[in-house]
């Protein structure tokens, strides 16, 4: 079940009937992509930021943060974050609103980055499309390696103590007691609570939204006017540098796994090694120019560089492993 299907229908309607752009053209693909992703991510921003505002008010986030940081979980907290990423049907940009919610709630950065990596990398499409296209063995290995990349990447970021690179406005959140003190020490009425939740959620949404639109616009242009077929000749090479090249070629592009997996299947059928094709696909769905632009509003460039470096190295390792065993 595609929960975003109504948005896709609306994007198709605007592209084909309102704007009357000739179908199956690069321009039509770019416009459709922009409408669909702008609406999807915008709605997710509003809903998730509102829900996180409610959560911050009622849920003892400070206690949760203390539990996650002071007790020994032996890595299970990272595994849980990776599993949460598996069950959320988000692409790299769509997972950012929930990532921001975790950051603003005080959840440890390593755990939040584990989710940010796993959400686009391992999702429902890799679970139900991979077995049909590549077999159960490939599916299991891919998801295990993907989980490992997310967990190890999150742990590595946590050990670097990079909290100083998160922009301060995303680390501040008020407790229920502090909010009530601002209202004269009395409990807020339902009307006041609903208004407060909306204003608190929109504060973050307004900060991120312009960068999201610009990032999606760039992603739409790349998606519509730079077809993956242009890189087929370069990816067919079986030299050691093919995997890094595939990763670097895929990283600026932007698409969800549902649309990329058929491209990957076509590349494999044309002789591209499976590991190289996987590196290309994984880079597309995990890192992208739009994601860099949106995350650039949340964190400083040093943390961006660390996050993408760890992720890209993990993707390359996945490619080499598959090329070695398949």
CB 247 within 8 A of CB 280: yes
pLDDT at 72: 67
Say how many C-beta atoms besides its own lie within 10 A of residue 65's C-beta: 14
Entry pTM: 0.71
pLDDT at 229: 59
Q: Which residue has the tokens 């693909």?
A: 29
Alpha helix stretches (DSSP H) within 226-288 = 232-235, 242-250, 257-269, 274-286
| 299 SS3 class | strand
Q: What is the pLDDT of residues 301-322, one digit of tens each?
A: 899 999 889 889 989 999 999 9
Judge residue 9's burial from the number of C-beta atoms within 10 Å of its C-beta, 0-12 exposed, 13-18 middle, 19 or more buried.
Answer: exposed
pLDDT at 227: 57
Nearest 5 degrees, angle CA 145-CA 151-CA 153? Answer: 95
pLDDT at 59: 65
Bridge partners for 205 per DSSP: none
pLDDT at 244: 93
What parts of the chain have a pLDDT lower than 70?
Answer: 1-2, 59-72, 88-94, 123-129, 170-175, 219, 222-233, 255-259, 262
């Amino acid at each position: 079940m595609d929960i975003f299907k109504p948005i896709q229908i609306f994007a198709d309607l605007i592209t084909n009937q309102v704007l009357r752009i000739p179908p199956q053209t690069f321009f039509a693909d770019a416009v459709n992509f922009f409408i669909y992703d702008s609406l999807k991510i915008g709605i997710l921003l509003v809903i998730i930021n509102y829900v996180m505002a409610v959560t911050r008010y009622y849920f003892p986030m400070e206690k949760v943060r203390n539990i996650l940081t002071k007790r020994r979980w032996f890595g299970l907290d990272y595994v849980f974050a990776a599993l949460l990423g598996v069950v959320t049907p988000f692409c790299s940009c769509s997972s950012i609103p929930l990532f921001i919610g975790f950051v603003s709630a005080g959840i440890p950065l390593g755990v939040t980055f584990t989710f940010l990596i796993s959400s686009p990398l391992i999702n429902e499409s890799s679970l139900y499309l991979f077995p049909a296209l590549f077999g159960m063995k490939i599916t299991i290995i891919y998801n295990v390696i993907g989980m490992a990349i997310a967990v190890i990447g999150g742990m590595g970021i946590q050990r670097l103590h990079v909290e100083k690179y998160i922009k301060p406005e995303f680390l501040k959140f008020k407790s229920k007691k502090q909010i009530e003190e601002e209202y004269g020490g009395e409990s807020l009425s339902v009307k006041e609570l609903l208004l407060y939740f909306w204003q608190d959620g929109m504060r973050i949404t307004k900060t991120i939204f312009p960068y999201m639109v610009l990032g999606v616009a760039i992603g739409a242009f790349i998606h519509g006017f730079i077809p993956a077929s242009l890189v087929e000749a370069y990816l067919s090479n079986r030299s050691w540098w093919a995997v890094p090249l595939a990763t670097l070629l895929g990283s600026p592009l932007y698409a969800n796994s549902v649309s990329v997996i058929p491209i990957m299947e076509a590349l494999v059928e044309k002789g591209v090694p499976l590991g190289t094709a996987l590196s290309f696909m994984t880079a597309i769905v995990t890192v992208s120019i739009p994601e860099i632009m949106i995350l650039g509003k949340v964190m400083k460039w040093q943390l961006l560089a660390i996050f993408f470096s760890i992720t890209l190295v993990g993707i390359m390792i996945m490619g080499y492993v598959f090329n070695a065993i398949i």
